[in-house]
Amino acid sequence: MNKIAVVALGGNALLRGNEAGTIEQQEKNTYDTCEKLVPLLERGFNLVITHGNGPQVGNILLRNEAGYKEYKIPKMPLDICVADSQGGIGYMIERQMRNVLSKTSLKRNVITIITQVLVDVKDPAFDNPTKPIGRFYLKEEADLLAKANNWVFKEDPRKRGWRKVVASPKPIDIINKKVIRDLVKRGNIVIAAGGGGIPIYKHENKYLEAIEAVVDKDLASSLLAREINADIFYIITDVPKVYLNFNKPNQFRLDKITLEQARKYFEQGEFPTGSMGPKIQAAVEFVEATGKEAVITNEEEIQLDNCGTRIVK
């Protein structure tokens, strides 16, 4: 039986930071990213692909506001916007993966699952929004938007600008995890948990209701990887490895670290909440629960056997 790899694509895998975000740009980036996943298939892995949606869902929210302001089109809540982005991005990845596979001898079905994720309505994250969505703004632009829409903005840790932030509760359960597991075990490439999934919570009578939040894509991907018994968990970001003292003259790359080292660096504040922090946390949770390996790298190097920063027990 083939091993299962869960690959969590960052938003930059689909939309580069310096791009306008046209569909042509996103489709080209998606195709290039899918090409780089082929070596994993050739090495015998079955794939579950998850993905970010920060820039895309942010743009959907802006269209929400513009449509209401100009034409009085009713605004859609954040859960519907996340679902919209899941469908659109999933479709893009699915089609481009099929295009990539058509140039190889590999025969795989590809399917996208719109994924809901259970959260706790009492999660303290609702009192402290931290998850960035949408584009970067100048401070003056962010202040105006915050005042006009009652949004919360925070400065990017890498000083690229200001982004809207929303609550990011911890994922508790992945709805349809059994379906995802069964499909991937049969060799299908499954695209799931897009944007961290659509956050929902359960009432005492088991009624499911949406809630205004965004689940962190890496934490949801880690939970999914654990629940489907994945053999390795890849987190794809825009740097080839994790660094200590990142963006400082004395920055130092990490090739292979233990759980204990990862926890220590995290507690020392090496990994900011809005940047590498959730990725380290997601990797730690996967390795801790399974004893298997998690890898943080970029899409250029995922093809290599010993790529990225590898976190082991």
**pLDDT one-digit tens code per residue, 25-64:** 999 999 999 999 999 999 999 999 999 998 888 889 889 9
> What is the bridge-based pairing of β-strands 208-210 and 198-202?
antiparallel
Please confirm, yes or no, whether 54 is among the known catalytic residues.
no
Determine the pLDDT at residue 292.
98
Partnered with residue 162 across adjacent β-strands are 137, 155
Catalytic status, residue 150: no
Q: Check residue 71 and give its pLDDT.
A: 96
Q: Does the active-site annotation cover 122?
A: no
- The residue type found at 248 is K
Which one is catalytic: 36, 164, 177, 217? 217
What tokens does 176 get?
Answer: 């349809």
Confidence band of 16 (pLDDT split at 50, 70, 90): confident
Among residues 10, 12, 194, 277, which one is catalytic? 12
- The per-residue pLDDT for 303 is 86
Higher pLDDT, 61 or 141: 141
Tell me, rounded to whole angstroms, the distance of Cα 220 from its chain centroid. 8
Which of 50-59, 76-85, 256-265 comes out lowest in average pLDDT? 50-59
Give kind and range of the element (H or E) at residue 274.
Answer: none
Check residue 76 and report its DSSP letter: P
Residue in 36, 164, 241, 279 annotated catalytic: 279
Which DSSP state fits 77? P
Report the 3 state secondary structure along 172-205.
Answer: CEECCHHHHHHHHHCCCEEECCHHHCEEEEECCC
CA distances from 159 to 154, 172, 221 (A): 10, 32, 27
Within 43-191, where are the H helices? 54-71, 78-101, 139-149, 177-185
Across the range 99-108, mean pLDDT stands at 97
Name the 3-class secondary structure at 296.
Answer: strand
Helix axes 54-71, 78-101, angle to 10 degrees: 130
How high is the pLDDT of residue 69? 87
pLDDT at residue 225 in the model: 98
Q: Is the pLDDT of residue 86 over 80?
A: yes
Closest CA to 114 of 81, 90, 79, 78: 90
pLDDT in tens, 190-243: 999 999 999 999 999 999 999 989 999 999 999 999 999 999 999 999 899 999
CA 23 vs. chain centroid, Å, equals 19
Mean pLDDT of 60-75: 92
Torsion angle of C-alpha atoms 236, 241, 242, 243, degrees rounded to 10: -150
Domains in the chain, ordered, with CATH? 3-116+176-201+210-312 (3.40.1160.10)
Rounded mean pLDDT of 3-8? Answer: 98
Given a cut of 90, whether residue 18 has pLDDT beyond it is no
What integer pLDDT is reported at residue 15 of this predicted model? 84
Mean pLDDT, residues 89-96:
98
Closest CA to 115 of 191, 7, 47, 60: 191
Told to judge if 11 belongs to the known catalytic residues of this protein, a careful annotator would answer yes
For residue 134, the model assigns a pLDDT of 78
Catalytic residue (one of 36, 90, 131, 308): 131
Q: pLDDT band at residue 313, thresholds of 50, 70 and 90?
A: very high
Q: Say if residues 180 and 224 touch (Cβ distance below 8 Å).
A: yes
Instruction: Establish whether 241 is a catalytic residue.
Output: no
Catalytic one among 11, 88, 194, 195? 11
Q: In sequence order, which ranges of 128-185 are alpha helices (DSSP H)?
A: 139-149, 177-185
- Percent of the chain residues past pLDDT 70, beyond the cut: 99
pLDDT confidence band for 1 (50 / 70 / 90)? low
pLDDT surpassing 80 at residue 11: no
